[in-house]
Structure formats: C-alpha cells, structure tokens
Structure 1
C-alpha cells in the first residue's frame, strides 16, 4: 500500500503538467461564498441559534391549569356500599409562580439566545478565516509545485548536457553523476510538492463542502482592513459578555426558584345522596424548610464570577491579537515588497547568463547548480512571504470581526 502510494506520487510528479497544476480555478470570494452557503459548521451553528430562539419564546409561557375529578365514599361498607354516598368533586387548579420566576426564566432564555446568535457569527468568522488560510496555502502550494516542475525540467536538461560533455571528454564523469543526483533531488521535491498540493486542495474542498477536489486558487491581492475603534468589542469579547449576562440571569433565576409557588384550586362537589352540590376551594404552598436552592444559587454566583473574569480576559486577548496581527501584516508586506523587487529578476538573469556560459564551457556544473539554487531559494522566499501576508491578513480580519 505504502509502496504503491509512493510510486503513484512519484509517477504523478514526473508527468505533472501546467494543466494538472492549474485545475478548476476558484477565487477567494467564490470560496467564501460557497463555504458560507454549504458548510455544515454554519448549518449547525444556525440550527443551534434557531433552537435558542425557540426556547426564548417558550420561556415566557405560564404553567397550564390542571383539571381534576375526585370520587369519594364508594364501594365501602355499611352506608358507603355501592354508589349511594358517593361525593364527586370537579376542580380546576392553577400554579401561581412567585418570586419573579417567569421574568427570570425569560431573561435567561434571551441571554442564551444572544449567546447562540453570537456563536453563529463566530462560526461564520472562524470559517472565513479558515477558508482564507486554506486558499492562501493552496495558492502557495501551487506555486511551489510549478517551481518544482520547472526545476525538474531544468535538471533534466542539465543532466542531458552533462552527459554530452562527459561523452565528449570536456567534463569528468563526476560532473555527470552530480547532475544525475541533482535530477533525482528535483524529482523527489516535485513528488513532495505534489503531495502537499493534493492535501491543500482537499482541505479547501472540505471547508467549502465541494464535491470537486481538483481546485486551483486564483491570486487575490487584498488590502489591509481599516483599524477598528478600541471601544468596539471584538466578536470574542461580545461572546464572553453574552456568556456573562447569561450567568447573571441564572443567578436571578436560582434565587427566584427558592421562592415557593402557590397553587390555588376551586371547583364544585356533588353529593349522590340528596343530589346536593357545594363549592370547594383551596390553596397550597410548599414549606421551604429543607430545600432553599442554596446550592444552585451558590453555583450560579460562582459561574457569574468566572464569566466576569472570562470577559476581562477576552478583552485583553482581543487587544493583543489585533495589535499582533497588524504588526505581523506590516512586517509581511515589507518583506514581500523587498523580495518582489529586483532580486528575482536579477537572479533569473544571472541564471540565464550562467547557463549560456556553462553551455560554452566557461562555468562548471557546480557553479550553475549554485546559481539555480539561489534562484529557487529566492522564489520560495517570495512564495512564503506572500503566504505570511495572507495569513496575517486573515488573522487581522478575524480579530476585527464584530
């Protein structure tokens, strides 16, 4: 299994053409739109928000009244034999919630609804960041695969020329061996970049819930988003605040649940003997001698304190993440601009001249390989710099999500 997979990767890399690398193109905006529309992560968060909304509606409903019928004094002995002395009572009872239970319950449900809605927004923001990162990584892996393919083609040409020169006696056999070793390294690198490219394609396809794993990321040059005012809480901070509000509401509900409810009832009683009727009424209330809900009250208060601390931490963390992301984005932009300047064009010109000199016998194979390696390193650094910029931009956009 492993041997066949390794062989397949190597064989695929050797025939990897530009058409294979540049598969079905998808822009960042298209990937974001498809992910928002199709991702199960978003569907799950939306369903949870809808469920919380339904619970908030249900929380304001009062208890239902209860209808009861009670039959007494039948099937006994003496005067109570049969149904002659039966008393039948039809009554309606209603539990009356005291202590503000209903309003406290509604407050908890609304706070949980707000938390669920913010969780839905958080899921969208997290998916947006993940898609941006996956799209940028796919673009970088495509560029690395193209570079590896070009390097393999160049190594094949060098190996061919080295063999010609060795056969003509212009180069020692060691030069041909070195060229063949460089070719083997280039093919191995091409196989590695192919594996990473296929993995990146599948990751993006999974995030956007696409049936087509053959995706190609088109280049997207986005500018940095504007600074978010300090007074505006980040999405993570809003989520922590909503959790704190829910915890405070649960404290109030726990205290309200400590107040016993009253159940009032009223009805009519019919006496079988004489067929008289009479009204009945009653009131019942629990005696809070043992259970005063102290454990739940203390637990809710502790959770409220924890939520307050979590809010403070979220505020501090949001400020740090925003500042770090903007600093990293600035550094990545400076590095990318420096690498994208004359460095690449000069390295390409140096390689062109060195190849001409090598073909003319003025430069050795080692010198040509050194120049080729320098150009490859410069291009890889440029690819990494662009990826670093995209990652920093994705982090900043997520940090600024409101």
Structure 2
C-alpha cells in the first residue's frame, strides 16, 4: 500500500490544480447588457410586436376599404346587327351604352363597415396584449440571465471556499490531527464543486444567448449590471376593471354580433339601377334607357351563413364567459403569489445571514480543532444552499410580478401599456 507521505503531495497538487483552473475560468467581460428599461423602450422592434402592429394596420385598411362603394359597371350592347334579311349589316342595329350601379340598400354598406370596425378594435386590443406579453417575456429572460450570472458567481465562490476548506483539512492531516480520509474527501468535494461551476457557466452562457436573441441585440450579452431581480415589484399599481384577455374576448363577441347583422343584410335582394343611351341606326335617332334589377331570393337566402354567424357568436359569448370567470381568480392568485414571494425573499435573506455566520463560526472552530470536518462541510453546504435559495426566491418574485402585470395590462415593474 502507498504510504500516507506519498499521498499527501498528491492532495496538495490536486488542490493546487483546481485553484489554478479556477483562476483561469474568469472570462474577460465585455460591455454589460442594456438595462431592462432600455430594452423595454425598444420593445416595438421585436417580431411579436411588429406582427401585432402589422395585423392592426391590416384591420384599419379593411375599415377604409369597407367604406368604399362598389364601382359602377359600364356596358355596351348591340342588337339587330349583322343578321339576315332586313338586319343584314349594321344599318338597322340598335346600340345601347349603359351605366349600372349597385345601390347597396337595406344598410348593406353600414353593416359591412361596422364589422370591419369591430374587427379593427379587436386587432387593437390584441396588439396591446402582444406588447404586454412581449414585455413579460423580456422581463423573464432578463431575470433568468441575471439569476444564471449570480449562480455562476456563487458556484465560483463555493469552489473557492471548498478549496480553502480542503487546504485546511490537508494541513490538519499533515499535522496528524485528521485521518487521511479527510483529505480524500476534500479532493472529491473540490472536484464536485468544479463540475458545478462548469454547469453554472453553461447555464449562464445559454441564458445570455436567450437574452441576446429576445432583445434583438447586435452584440452578445456577456454580463448584467442593472439588476432586475433585486427590484421591488410594482404590484400596487392600479389596474383596470378587466384583464386584457377579457377585453379581447369582449371585442371578439362584439365583432361576432356585427357579423350576424351583416349576414342578415346580405340575405336581402341586391338592387342595381342602370341608365343608358340607345342609338337606332335605321331611324338615326337616340333614346334613354332606365332599368332596375334585383335577384329573386328563391333558392339562396343566405340561411347557412346566418346560422354560421350565430354559432360563432355563441362561441365568442362562451369564451367571454370563461374569461370573466377566470379573470378574478387569476388576479387574486397572482397577488397572493406575489405577496408570498416577497415574504420568501425576506426569509431567504435572513437564512443567508444565518448561514454565513454559522459557516464563519464553523471555520474558526475547525481550525482550532474543536469541531470536525463533517460539521464544517455541513455548514458550508448549508451556506451554498441558502445563497442559491435567495437567488431562486428573487427569480420567483420576478415571475409573480410578471404574472400580475400581464393580468393588469402593464409591463412588469412598470405602468400600463
């Protein structure tokens, strides 16, 4: 069996290698990411908001088009020409030039405009909802990137502390005050801490990449200086009576109701009036022609479209009922989660303070030989867990603020859109 004297240099060398690797892990930071407010001001450039804006512009264009009357129809007709007998050639022909126009009676144009206006109103509300959702997604990605950065810093600090504890254990092993097993355990703990650091670095880089993509930044995000997870939520902001989803459902119901009336109007005859001039070649004379035409609703009375519009209205009414039933419950639940998350942050901060003091006293006691390495390891693990729990509590508070802000129709940590 190898002697303990041969194993001790291996432990010291292993810890030295871990310390050197730790020193090399620190990246060269570039410029920090813009603040959350700066990114929020650029929210209109994101694909989701651009799509919602384009759909609203399309709805507005359909309103303008709905106001336009149908074009008149110009017709030219020749009769009694190029036949046989007295109608040979064009000498006895009758030529008629006419102009016909759809009169759009029964309120057809007004019903069409009302449907287009209702759909434009729905598109406007959906645009507002898309802006709120984009702001919430930005806040979440920003907070997750900041939390990942903090977890990486905590993992780096945990590795440093673990190496320091391992060195202290090796010193006691050299002095014969601790068995060789403690050195082996310390080396294993340092390797595990190094692996945790690598994992935290990968999570941080992935979170930074997501933030770069969501915020549509030209340069990759490499650090965050303007904190969001430490900010107090704006949960006390006054909110409108209805959630954005309820307002969208109400607009959809109104548009469905307008479509019923439009289909009813379409079932009535489409009256067309015409006026023209007729030329009589044989008599070398002209005369005016007047006409009025309308289809006979014997077969197509638009019953199917009317029934379909009524069914769509019932569906929209059901969606509105469901949205109203869920709105109040969702808001109360979001407010409760936000209050709980605020309390959780306070408790987590108190836990970190207690864990830091416990670890400090454990380290002093371990170096003095009054407590074992197992107790030191336990207090160190409790400190690492408490610090990570504090980050998790802050991230949960951000998520609760995002949920409540969406129900209130505003950007997280901000005012109404």
TM-score, normalization: structure 1? 0.91
Structure 2 residue ranges without an equivalent (≥5): 1-19, 410-415
Q: CA deviation at 1:242?
A: 0.4
Q: CA deviation at 1:135?
A: 1.7
Please tell me whether residue 212 in structure 1 is matched to residue 212 in structure 2: no
Q: CA deviation at 1:168?
A: 4.4
Please tell me whether residue 252 in structure 1 is matched to residue 252 in structure 2: no
Residues 100-145 of structure 1: CA deviation (Å, up to 9, x unaligned): 1111100000000000011100000001111111122122111111
The alpha-carbon distance between structure 1 residues 234 and 380, as it changes in their structure 2 partners (threshold 3 A), is same
Partner-residue secondary structure (3-state), 1:340: helix
Q: Which deviates more, 242-251 or 380-389?
A: 380-389
Q: CA deviation at 1:16?
A: 3.2
Residues 313-354 of structure 1: CA deviation (Å, up to 9, x unaligned): 11122111110111011111112112223x322321222232
Give the equivalent residue in structure 2 for 1:358. 366
Give the equivalent residue in structure 2 for 1:28. 36
Structure 2: distance between partners of 1:12 and 1:399: 47
Give the equivalent residue in structure 1 for 2:236. 226
Q: Which deviates more, 243-252 or 326-335?
A: 326-335
Give the equivalent residue in structure 2 for 1:346. 354
Aligned match of 1:70 in 63, 66, 77? 77
Aligned match of 1:333 in 311, 330, 342? 342
Give the number of equivalent residue pairs: 388
Structure 2: distance between partners of 1:324 and 1:17: 42
Structure 2: distance between partners of 1:123 and 1:167: 65
Give the equivalent residue in structure 2 for 1:99. 106
Q: Which deviates more, 138-147 or 212-221?
A: 212-221
The alpha-carbon distance between structure 1 residues 117 and 28, as it changes in their structure 2 partners (threshold 3 A), is same
Q: Which deviates more, 179-188 or 76-85?
A: 76-85
Structure 1: distance between partners of 2:293 and 2:164: 98
Give the equivalent residue in structure 1 for 2:201. 194
Structure 1: distance between partners of 2:349 and 2:180: 39
After superposing on structure 2, the runs of 4+ consecutive aligned residues of structure 1 that deviate more than 4 Å are: 11-14
Structure 1 residue ranges without an equivalent (≥5): 1-10
Give the equivalent residue in structure 1 for 2:270. 261
The alpha-carbon distance between structure 1 residues 310 and 106, as it changes in their structure 2 partners (threshold 3 A), is same
- Contact 1:74-1:84 at 8 Å conserved across structures: yes
Structure 2: distance between partners of 1:361 and 1:336: 35
Give the equivalent residue in structure 2 for 1:310. 319
Give the equivalent residue in structure 2 for 1:175. 182
- Contact 1:237-1:314 at 8 Å conserved across structures: yes
Q: CA deviation at 1:73?
A: 2.3
Alignment of 1:148-167 (within 5 A): 148-167=155-174
Structure 1: distance between partners of 2:342 and 2:25: 32
Q: CA deviation at 1:369?
A: 1.1
Q: CA deviation at 1:380?
A: 1.3
Structure 1: distance between partners of 2:290 and 2:359: 103
Please tell me whether residue 394 in structure 1 is matched to residue 402 in structure 2: yes
Partner-residue secondary structure (3-state), 1:362: coil
Please tell me whether residue 276 in structure 1 is matched to residue 285 in structure 2: yes
Please tell me whether residue 238 in structure 1 is matched to residue 265 in structure 2: no
Partner-residue secondary structure (3-state), 1:69: strand
Give the superposed CA RMSD.
2.1
Partner-residue secondary structure (3-state), 2:317: helix
Structure 2: distance between partners of 1:359 and 1:173: 17
